[in-house]
């Protein structure tokens, strides 16, 4: 069995009802390759609307809807937080966890992120776990060390078997929103390291693990990146806010 290609949209704190309508209209016209799956992550208030629009357009077999974050708590007095039970109640299948913006702006630690992954898995929600190094860390030759540390925190909490139900996204922090995409070769090298790291504990799981690349992916760069053997699709920010461009990326995947 080969791995599917996942084209995921992270709208971050952008997008509105009009973007949902435009995106569904566009993706209804795309003829997807059989092995391509699309995931769209809008902000919390739009999850249900997007999920209903996907269903109404008969796109549920192609498009899944994802949250961008979840609480590590299951319920209770945590003002402003959203639980996995709430995602399940709305039939939301995925959640991004550990995006570098959550790590750097909101101070989310490796431990907190590992707790979130565990809570998502326990609820049957698929985590899209983001990992990535900063520019300074890459320049200091610490990329592999940083990624290993981020992965190890999750493995310690959930066990390696959990990676059978996780989607990984490698997002070098220096490439996010900067227009500086990693070259396909550089991204491939890092993805191969990540797969090897997981394979050291679980060969079969590593072979089936989807590893997405994120960081300034657009309609010009996506094809060469997705053609790399260890790159199983992308997690796309800015270019996923334009229905036409995102549609082209999905079409060419």
Ligand X SMILES: O=C(CO)COP(=O)(O)O
Query: d(Cα 234, Cα 194) in Å, to the nearest integer?
Result: 15
Q: From CA 55, how far away is CA 49, in angstroms rounded?
A: 10
Please tell me which residue in 72, 101, 171, 245 is annotated as part of the active site: 171
Give me the least distance between CB of 58 and ligand X, in Å please: 27
For helices 243-252 and 17-29, the axis angle rounded to 10 degrees is 30
Q: Is 174 annotated as a binding residue?
A: no
What is d(CA 9, CA 114) in angstroms, rounded to the nearest whole number?
A: 22
Is there a catalytic annotation at residue 94? no
Q: Which residues contact 175 (CB under 8 A, 6 or more apart)?
A: 181, 182, 214, 215, 216
Interface with ligand X, residue 143, by CB under 6 A: no
Tokens representing 224 are 């060469």
Instruction: Quote the least distance from Cβ 200 to ligand X, whole Å.
Output: 27
Please identify, among the stretches 30-38, 104-112, 229-237, 244-252, the one whose residues bind ligand X according to the rule CB under 6 A.
229-237
Among the listed residues 70, 176, 194, 231, the single contact to ligand X using CB under 6 A? 176
Catalytic residue status for 191? no
Q: Are 100 and 111 in contact (CB under 8 A)?
A: no
In whole angstroms, how close is the CB of 56 to ligand X at the nearest point?
26
Active site residues: 99, 171
Q: Can you give the binding site for ligand X, defined by CB under 6 A?
A: 10, 99, 171, 176-177, 214-217, 235-239
What residues form the annotated binding site? 10-12, 177, 216, 237-238
């Amino acid at each position: 069995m080969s791995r599917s290609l996942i084209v995921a949209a992270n709208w971050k704190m952008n997008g509105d009802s009009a973007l949902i309508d435009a995106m569904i209209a566009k993706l209804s016209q795309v003829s997807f390759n059989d092995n391509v799956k699309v995931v769209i992550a809008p902000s919390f208030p739009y999850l249900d609307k997007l999920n209903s629009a996907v269903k109404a357009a008969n796109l549920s077999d192609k498009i899944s809807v994802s949250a961008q974050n979840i609480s590590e708590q299951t319920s209770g007095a945590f003002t402003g937080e959203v639980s996995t039970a709430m995602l399940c109640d709305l039939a939301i299948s995925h959640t991004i966890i550990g995006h570098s913006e959550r790590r750097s702006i909101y101070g989310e630690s490796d431990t907190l992120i590992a707790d979130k992954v565990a809570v998502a898995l326990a609820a049957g929600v698929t985590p899209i776990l983001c990992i990535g190094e900063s520019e300074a860390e890459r320049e200091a030759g610490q990329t592999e060390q940083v990624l290993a540390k981020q992965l190890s925190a999750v493995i310690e909490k959930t066990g390696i078997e959990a990676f059978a139900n996780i989607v990984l996204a490698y997002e070098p922090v220096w490439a996010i929103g900067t227009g500086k995409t990693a070259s396909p070769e550089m991204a491939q090298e890092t993805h191969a390291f990540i797969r090897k790291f997981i394979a050291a504990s679980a060969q079969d799981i590593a072979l089936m693990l989807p590893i997405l690349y994120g960081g300034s992916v657009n309609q010009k760069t996506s094809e060469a990146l997705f053609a790399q053997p260890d790159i199983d699709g992308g997690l796309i920010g800015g270019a996923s806010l334009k229905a036409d461009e995102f549609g082209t990326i999905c079409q060419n995947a």
